[in-house]
Amino acid sequence: MNTINLVKEFYAASKCRLHVNRKPVVPNYDQALLKVKFLNEELSELCHAFVARDKVKILDALTDLQYFLDGTYLLCGMENLKDKAFIEVHRSNMTKFFKAGDRLKCITDDAGKIIKPLTYDPPNLKQFIEEEFHESKQNVPTDMSSDFSDCPIP
């Protein structure tokens, strides 16, 4: 099942102005801020569901987050990059481990976050953006950013 296709179906059926871009873009400020607002609402719902220890609400919040994330992939024109990017991030995350005998181990800080060892290899996501523009024979924009300097989200 491709969750992005289900979100596209929703977008097609909707009378709302829901944007889908074909190539990677940085959305305008208002579009981006709206996505961030909705994602924050869902994160808040997830937090409340954890506090309430309500499994149904946890599942609802997780699913809504994925729905909004998939919509954000569509807005940013990155739906074709989702799987490749995920695999690359996974590859990178696995470099946070080191072999100890026949087991993989990691070092964590006091909060439980994995500390990146010297062997860590960050994900190369730029390759996918460049690939998208190369395949369409367009130039990769040197500045794909919008002015988000006053974004209220830290």
pLDDT in tens, 77-96: 999 999 999 999 999 999 99
For the domain made up of 1-77, give the CATH fold. Answer: putative ntp pyrophosphohydrolase like fold (1.10.3420)
* Angle in degrees, CA 87, 9, 14, rounded to 5: 130
Query: What local confidence, expressed as pLDDT, does residue 152 receive?
Result: 54
What is the sign of the dihedral through the CA atoms of 133, 138, 143 and 148? negative
DSSP assignment letter at 107: -
Structural domain boundaries of the chain?
A: 1-77, 96-140
* Angle in degrees, CA 18, 80, 21, rounded to 5: 30
Query: What local confidence, expressed as pLDDT, does residue 27 receive?
Result: 92
Q: What is the pTM of this model?
A: 0.82
Please answer whether residues 106 and 98 qualify as being in contact, where contact means their C-beta atoms are separated by less than 8 angstroms. yes
Measure the CA–CA gap between 112 and 115, rounded to whole angstroms: 9
pLDDT tens by residue, 21-64: 888 999 999 999 999 999 999 999 999 999 999 999 999 999 99
